[in-house]
Chains A and B, each alone.
Chain A
Amino acid sequence: MNARRLKRFVALWWLPVALVAGWWFLSLGRDSFYFPSLQKILAVLWRDLTTGNLLAWLGISLGNMAAGLAIAIVAGTLIGLLIGEFEGLRRAATPTLNFLRSIPPAAIVPLVIVAMGIGSAPKIFIIALACFWPVLLNTIDGVRGIPPQLRDTVKAFRIPLALRFRRVLVMAALPQIMAGIRIAIAVALVLMVISEFFGASVGVGFYINEAKQRFAMPETWAGTVLIGILGYVLSALFLRLERWLLAWYFQDSRTQGDEGA
């Protein structure tokens, strides 16, 4: 690692490292019931991941989240492309969409659990429903924001409908679609946890809630810390994916404005 990269690394990481270290040392040895030491929290987390059910439950939770997100991304993108492209459809759908998306997803959790019972299906459904909106709305915006020049080009060269969707609209809207997915991932994480608070017998959310009911505070904290780490890792991974998928976009906007030869 050369000096410049080291400098960047330090600039990026000193604060989180300091916060964790502060937490670690300030809580060390002071075992209050509600605020166990970080050392204890991590020890419990490690114990339950390696010897308990937590790792398997994490897998189940992540599986639900992935399934819900996948459904939301596919449905949100497809429907968003259609609504964004066809004005008539947009006009017809807008009032309904505005009503539906103003219902907080968490509010329908009890309803869905009652209707669909326990197991993975209601959780996947809830995650998919909540994540559908940011993907849908961003896709619509992305399609509507396509520059008129590009539309003229597509029209002038008589690009057929299916090809237009596949190679122009999706790509032109991709930066916005990815922004929608980024929001959806955060939403999915929230609903993954909340959906496991009710009518669940497995999952990280269940782990947290069940520990809370036993007043097992280190476990409750351990589950919460695990979700925090998970959220961070997911968003970091997604950022990488985005940089890779949209390399053309970042390059293109960086050189925007360089005119002439």
Chain B
Amino acid sequence: MTRARINQLEVEVPEGTSILDAARKVQVNIPTLCKHKDLLPTAACGLCIVRNQGSNKLIRACCTPLENNMQITTHDREIVEVRRSTLELILSNHPQACLTCGRNGECELQARAADFNIPLEAIKRYVKDVPADRSTGSIILEFQKCIKCGRCIQVCQEVQNVWALSFLDRGINTRMAPAGDITLAESPCVKCGQCSAHCPTGAIVENDETPLVWEALHDPEKICVVQIAPSVRVTVGEAFGLPPGANLTRKLYAALRRLGFRAVFDTNFSADLTIVEEASEFIQRFVHRRGALPLITSCCPSWTDFMEKRHYDFIDNFSTAKSPQQMLGVLAKTYYAQKLGLDPAKMFVVSIMPCTAKKYELSRTEEMYASSFKDVDVALTTRELARMLKQSGIDFLNLADGKADSMLGDYSGAGTIFGVTGGVMEAALRTACFYATGKKLESLELDSVRGLEGVKEGTVMVDGTAVRVAVAHGLANVEQVLDRVRAARKNGQEPPYHFIEVMACPGGCIGGGGQPYGVDNERRKLRIAGLYQDDRDATVRYSHENPEVVRVYEDFLGKPLGPRAHELLHTQYTARPLYKR
């Protein structure tokens, strides 16, 4: 332990704790724009300077570990003056277009500027005219708003191992951009949006598609339906000041209906459907030895994109089952439309997703048009939904509970935990075990695949046979899992795992790139707890027992992996170049 004083206050913290974190222990907030709790300090912004008694230099609190007997001053006249000047400098290199910015009201730079009450153009503004990059349709890079804190680059390179973003040039020309004057769409970007979730300003934002949705909602010809992803229910409250993890499923149903959607579906339903298909695939491969093992989950579009670009030697291992978003979309425009006698051409399917990559998934391959139409028309992130709710004047938190529409609205506890890392694995094993043995798992909740550990491994006994599973989240963690499989493959050995779940974002979808801002592990844990609680509260906890899932097979799809299921619910993969140019 290290003992020192910060602003005269005694503080004791574990060795290696930064001054910044130690100060929080004694209720002292040192401002910073570059340090993010998820990430290593980059020491870029220069706001967190503090003074150690006896030293002439100011030191950075973010990256200096507290040492025994230090006497730190975090605020004195000079420090505050320097901080103010530094902030003025940062603002002088920023468009200061707050009112029309995607981060308006939620921007860390704006908040600091407000704290210091910085006047407009305290220092003459210089902003280089660089057009925004809108190439991906998922994420927009507003280069002008970038303060070069380096968070996005660290996330993209270190946490996600994607290496789409990089620092280019130097000095005043330093910029965050894809390598070598290409657009983001031409880069290895997988659209996970973690960069946008970590950006302190509006430099990286989701592509706001709410206008498309408003237009459809206002179009009397259109039949608008909507689905909400598993994780959205426990995160959307944060945009309205609720703590993370608060489950707002029923309020969301009500609110979406008020927005004007003719039907409100739940992606949890199609998550159950995905499980039924995927578990069937697993049984086919594991029990009947038809197809490659390990089976790898494919419901995360960023992961799919990443695999197609960097790990396409695993194409055969990928589950061909579509993601819940796409399954629901296609069923809405076929099954639901037929049952209600609606014209699918007039249907407009909106999905509310935790994720920026889901926007990309909508047109990923031709199979995303299995209904003969675009199966899902628009995918909105949680943040966009919150914006719509606020615009619409709906007093969201005080709404009476609503209900989802039947046919595509009921869900099991297994479906809801799709939103957390390990959840798909857990849900799939619940059903697969039943398929294999006709019996249920002894212990329903698989602790070995729960939690925020980057790679989780476990063995589940299914009727005396060990099923070895691995769960990875955060794309940088994927490599080690795949490399183990590759090594076994090369040596002609039994694969180390039978089933692998991968989610691109740390924590799974609850930590998705489209979720409300300010994510860190504390928040992730609360959000996760919210979903596990939803599972525990569910009356049905097995996907195959979801009555509406049972009915859709009886009435429409036939058997899992059957011809119709195959036509509508499955997709395929192809190797893609890392760089399009």
Q: Do A and B bind each other?
A: no
